Structure 1
Amino acid sequence: MLYFQLVIMAGTVMLAYYFEYTDTFNVHVQGFFCYDNAYTKPYHGPEASSAVPPAILYAVVCGLPLLLITAIESVLFLLQYVSEDLDNREKIIVMGDCCYLNPLVRRTFHFLGVYAFGLFSTDIFVNAGQVVTGNLSPHFLTVCKPNYTALGCMQTARFVNQKGVCTGNEDDIMRARKSFPSKEAALSVYAALYTAMYITLTVKAKGTKLAKPVLSLGLICLAFLTGINRVVEYRNHWCDVIAGFIIGGAIAVFMVLGVVQNFKGKTLLNEIPPEESVVSSVPMMGQPRIMDNTMEKYIASQNSNTFAEVT
């Protein structure tokens, strides 16, 4: 089962790579009207000159959930380890036939693995939408620089849909044809919502009733501002940003509710819930020997009855 999941993850990463860095999927060439005011907004330069450049956005989207989830899981594990409530500790974590896996490592890798899968899935959904629609950005005509005289647009607002009408930079033109939905909006909302739901559902410590919503709403606010910035800089339309918010938010909710099941963390095969069984001993070779709680209670009751009869 683990190998099957790794194959799915590898396929998802490869598909995202082909969408992002190759020309395997051709972008649909959408036509436009000459002098259309919807596509004549000023061009604020390449993406690197944006107020939220891709390098910073991707670093935050990838790094912030990693740090937060790892830190919170470490604190929760330490609190559980030093707790006096021994019955609530995770007694057994078994993988395969011989391996013991620390609960901290298991939960952390599971939550981060699901997050990474959802992140790449969001990227695939967005890239597929951009390739299929080929929606033009607000500054498309500014970077396209069409020859209106040759197109016969001097007197009438003619609709132009043939290829090769642009005279500007090809890379800028290609990016300007991939506006719907907004990738930056989708990725930022996915990361913010997944992390916010993790904090809300996992942290149960006293004194965090106000801290959790403040931190969660702060993350969502940053994602919202990222989408606003795309509109302000004329890199996306409002509908592009809203569609990105919907895609990222829907995938985050699905991952939390349907995959990790509100971050309960019971994911391994061959795992026995702590309320049903405990590890009585861990031998050097083979699987840990497991004694059922019911059998333990039966033996304890028989011993007590025997002691009562003797006395």
Structure 2
Amino acid sequence: MLYFQLVIMAGTVMLAYYFEYTDTFSVHVQGFFCYDTTYTKPYLGPEDSSAVPPMLLYAVVAGLPTLLITIMETVLFLLQYMSKEFDRSEKTVATGDCCYLNPLVRRTFRFLGVYTFGLFTVDIFVNAGQVVTGNLAPYFLTVCKPNYTALGCQRALRYISHQEACTGNQDDILRARKTFPSKEAALSVYAAIYLAMYVTCTVQAKGTRLAKPVLSLGLMCLAFLTGLNRVAEYRNHWSDVIAGFLIGSAIATFLVVCVVHNFKGKLLLSEELPVEQRPNTALLNVSRMESPMEKYIASQVSTGARYKNILRICRTKPGQMMEYCLFTGS
């Protein structure tokens, strides 16, 4: 199963690479109306000039969860390591026929691996939506620079659908055709929800009743501000940001609930003995024949118990039970 999971992970990474850096999937060319004010917002420059540039967003989305999960798992493991429960539990965990890993390493790689898989999945979903829809950015006509006279735009309701209508920079035009859903909104809310649920489900220490919701809401606020920035800079529509939020939230919730089961995995193995050290209970459950001596001893024990009960009755009620006591030989 480990090799199968690695194959799936490699396939996901390759698909995300083809979506992001190659022209394997062509973007749908969506038309526009002449002088449509929806797409005439000002162009504030490339993505690197944004208040939340892509490199900063990607670094935070990739680095912050890795750092936080690694630190939290190390602290939790050390707390349990110093407790007495660690002495009665296994210190290694098997991952195959020949490989053994420390449970700290296993849990950390599991949670980070699922998170990384979710990041590439979000990227695939977002890129697929952008390629299929070809939704136009609010600044599309600003970078498209159409020749309205040559296009015959004497009427504002004229619909232009051919790609040659634009005379601007082709890279800017292609980027302006890939806005639905918003990738920045999807990645930011995915990271925020995954980390918020990790902190809420994992940290059970006293005194964190208020710290956990504050940290979780702070992460959600950062993701929300990222979406607001995309709208404020006219790089995405509200619908693009909302769709990105929905995709990121859905994927994060699915992975946490259905894949890592709310981070309920144990830090260490349970106290069950290994298979080779367990007693052979099958032999203990086999029925055996009682010997005649054992039957005689059991009957004598039961008879003695009955006589003791009779003596107790005779002592408690001597007047009424005298004849019965004489009859039984007590």
* Correspondence 1:49-198 to 2 at 5 A: 49-86=49-86, 89-90=89-90, 92-198=92-198
8 Å CA contact 1:144, 1:173 repeated in 2? yes
TM-superposed deviation, 1:96: 1.9
**TM-score, normalised with respect to structure 1:** 0.87
Structure 1 distance, partners of 2:279, 2:42, is 71
State whether structure 2 residue 280 is matched by structure 1 residue 291.
no
Q: Tell me how many residue pairs correspond in the alignment.
A: 282
Distance 1:193-1:89 versus aligned 2 partners, 3 A rule: farther
Structure 2 residue runs without a partner (length 5+): 285-330
**TM-score, normalised with respect to structure 2:** 0.82
* Correspondence 1:176-255 to 2 at 5 A: 176-255=176-255
Q: 1:274 aligns with which of 270, 278, 287?
A: 270
Distance 1:257-1:108 versus aligned 2 partners, 3 A rule: same
Distance 1:89-1:246 versus aligned 2 partners, 3 A rule: farther
Structure 2 distance, partners of 1:166, 1:178, is 16
Structure 1 distance, partners of 2:85, 2:157, is 76
Structure 1 residue runs without a partner (length 5+): 280-288, 299-311
Distance 1:89-1:36 versus aligned 2 partners, 3 A rule: farther
Structure 1 distance, partners of 2:129, 2:98, is 46
- Asked which structure has the greater CA Rg, the reply is 2
8 Å CA contact 1:91, 1:278 repeated in 2? no
Structure 2 distance, partners of 1:117, 1:207, is 33
Greater alpha carbon shift after TM alignment, 153-162 vs 206-215: 153-162
Distance 1:88-1:148 versus aligned 2 partners, 3 A rule: farther
TM-superposed deviation, 1:266: 6.3
RMSD (Å), alpha carbons: 1.9
Structure 1 distance, partners of 2:5, 2:42, is 46
Structure 2 distance, partners of 1:62, 1:233, is 24
Letter in 1 for 2:250: A
TM-superposed deviation, 1:86: 4.0
TM-superposed deviation, 1:179: 0.9
Structure 2 distance, partners of 1:46, 1:124, is 22
Distance 1:221-1:108 versus aligned 2 partners, 3 A rule: same
Q: SS at the partner of 2:185?
A: helix
Distance 1:243-1:113 versus aligned 2 partners, 3 A rule: same
Structure 2 distance, partners of 1:126, 1:219, is 21
TM-superposed deviation, 1:18: 0.3
Percent identical pairs in the alignment equals 74
TM-superposed deviation, 1:274: 1.2
8 Å CA contact 1:110, 1:265 repeated in 2? no
More helix by share: 2
TM-superposed deviation, 1:293: 7.8
| 1:306 match | none
TM-superposed deviation, 1:163: 1.6
Structure 2 distance, partners of 1:247, 1:73, is 28
Per-residue Cα deviation, 1:125-158 (whole angstroms, up to 9, x for no partner)? 0000000000001000001000000001134431
Q: SS at the partner of 2:164?
A: coil
State whether structure 2 residue 240 is matched by structure 1 residue 264.
no
Distance 1:94-1:229 versus aligned 2 partners, 3 A rule: same
